[in-house]
A = this chain, B = another copy of it.
Amino acid sequence: MRRSALTSALLMSVALSVPAFANDSVKKLSSDPNNWAVQSGDYAGTRFSKLDQINTSNVKNLKVAWTFSTGVLRGHEGGPLVIGDVMYVHTPFPNIVYALDLKNDAKILWKYEPKQDPSVIPVMCCDTVNRGPQYADGKILLHQADTSLVAIDANTGKELWKVVNGDPKKGETGTGAPLIMKDKVVIGISGAEFGVRCHVTAYDLNTGKRVWRAYSMGPDEDILVDPAKTMSLGKPVGKDSSLKTWTGDQWKIGGGSTWGYMSWDPDLNLFYYGTGNPSTWNPAQRAGPDGKQIDQKWSMTMFARNPDTGMAAWAYQMTPFDEWDYDGINEPILADIDVGGAKRKVAVQFNRNGLAYTWDRATGELLVAEKFDPAVNWTTGVVMDKNSPQYGRPQVVPKMSTFLNGQDVNSKGICPAALGSKDQQPASFSPQTGLFYVPTNHVCMDYEPFKVSYTAGQPYVGATLSMYPAPNSHGGMGNFIAWDASKGKIVYSKAEPFSVWSGVLTTAGGIACYGTLEGYFKCLDQKDGKELYKFKTPSGIIGNAMTYTQGGKQYIGILSGVGGWAGIGLAAGLTNPNDGLGAVGGYAGLRNYTNLGGTLTVFSLP
């Protein structure tokens, strides 16, 4: 008894003496809606704000409060952070970060401009974008194009530490936002179009020391799965779950990019992120030893991992043996919603492949998998019968299989196009309606795979594409949709002339706000999608709407600056819109609406 009591007391004492985690401050800051402390608004990635000063009744009166040019052209993804009275604004390459004094008319407190070799630009597949820095404990964490991860003193702009996460000479680049959990900075990497074997890596927040790295494919010890404990569709993944699904050494140049936004459930202590396409885009080069399809795990996968160790709790592959470049990197959003009559802790993803997935985020159980884009024609859907050997797998329409059609054959009319029914543009979840608000593409493609050899640092694509508006799209290459993730149904859909390539903000004011590629900032009524406000910003918008307060007043901010994959024709100055990777001819019309130029536009009520 005594001993047991002592043990208990000791255990309690240990529990009590656990040091405050370095980023407890972020949890606290991000729970205060006056800040916008995390790129996604919160760790769940909901992009929902409890602020309601600006609401469905008065949003029509919004006016531009102030504007700020970033001094950089090309595509501006991501958005600003606000911590107290300071806003942090970033740019695409060269990845400048500005600290602005919101108390003092957005005067520039400091400017951090990394010195980067511009030779990284040609190895950035889809414009020189950056999805934003993050904040924790007085530091700004920035993932540069050249893969340097730097910690900057949030007060002074001075560099505190810097580590190199990859090698641009091999096609490894940095475009994603880090996620800071406890005392770790977790960051992914881009490069699946250059045969990079991609990964997520954790660095110590205080020192920059590398803690763990989890590759998207390879031996179990590289991918940080426990054959017995890491689950997939209710079963342990088993030994060599990745290696068994590759032929020869192809996994060593296997792709599986990790540049999307990540989310974290602190209670489950799991973080979630998706992996991209297997390299190359030519499926014939990735066929199994028997010449048939083989899964190429864990490309195209939603992973749930423990941020302390990197170990995977569960994995689910959305698009086994990809034949269309349907990267699985899109952001998982965590929400607690009713599914089948029970409250479930879910993760929801709107995948490039046109399917929206709802998982139990503790176990990885697949709850819902339905098309969120009416154009989708590559699959008839996902087998949901747990007793089927095909359980959890999308059923491919043979006519749309670029593998079955064969190398050097132009497979026509595949929907969605390679840039997916949704690409980087993050969706938002509003607990007010229980719905997800999703910026989507409505675009199809012709896809012709061809044999390509691997040379480090050279494009390793192996397919030519032509992308164009979906048939019967009534001229619209995008839709803004409200999605019921419990039922897997579109609640309403609002057509846009171009893809909605901007991240959505929802608020307790009942509004859903986003930008368009022509440059309009729009706010809708969450309930019915009715457009309540519209303003033409200086350039096309691929950044994410965010909100904060300053001096007790609510503001909404968004970066314009056209570019990204959809805007690459403008961003890279292509005179022929069908030039370049994944020719985006359908977006050529953008040049009738907008030009390059990074500007933050901040709105408020009069």
Interface residues of A (CB under 8 A from B): 63-64, 66-71, 73, 98, 105-108, 111, 535-539, 560-561, 591-601, 606
Contact = CB atoms under 8 A, between A and B. Distances in A.
A37 to B, nearest CB: 24
Given A67-B67, A67-B601, A538-B68, A107 B592 contact: yes
A535 B66 contact: yes
A594 B89 CA distance: 13
A597 B63 contact: no
B595 A597 contact: no
A568 to B, nearest CB: 15
A243 to B, nearest CB: 48
Given A538-B599, A597-B597, A598-B597, A73 B73 contact: yes
Nearest to A71: B595
Nearest to A106: B536
Number of this chain's copies in the assembly equals 2
B69 A539 contact: yes
Given A111-B591, A538-B538, A591-B108, A63 B63 contact: yes
Contacts of A592: 107-108
A599 B67 CA distance: 10
Contacts of A63: 63-64, 606
Contacts of A595: 68-71, 98
8 contacts: A67-B536, A67-B599, A68-B536, A68-B538, A71-B595, A108-B592, A597-B599, A606-B606
Nearest to A598: B597
A475 to B, nearest CB: 15
Nearest to A561: B69
A167 to B, nearest CB: 28
Contacts of A594: 69, 108
B539 A66 contact: no
A605 to B, nearest CB: 11
Contacts of A536: 66-68, 105-106
A161 to B, nearest CB: 24
B105 A597 contact: no
Nearest to A595: B71
A153 B537 CA distance: 28
B107 A69 contact: no
A286 B536 CA distance: 55
Contacts of A69: 538-539, 560-561, 594-597, 599
A476 B596 CA distance: 34
A490 B111 CA distance: 40
A532 to B, nearest CB: 15
Contact of A597 (B64, B70, B107, B108): B70
The 5 closest A-B pairs by CB, nearest first: A69-B597, A71-B595, A69-B538, A64-B64, A69-B539
Contacts of A67: 64, 67, 536-538, 599, 601
A536 B66 CA distance: 5
A111 B107 CA distance: 34
A277 B108 CA distance: 37
A71 B70 contact: no
A547 to B, nearest CB: 19
Contacts of A561: 69
From A69, A98, A535, A598, residue with most partner B Cβ within 10 Å: A69
From A106, A597, A599, residue with most partner B Cβ within 10 Å: A597
A509 B606 CA distance: 23
A531 to B, nearest CB: 14
A542 to B, nearest CB: 13
Nearest to A600: B538
Contacts of A98: 595
From A538, A560, A601, residue with most partner B Cβ within 10 Å: A538
B597 A71 contact: yes
A606 B605 CA distance: 12
A98 to B, nearest CB: 8
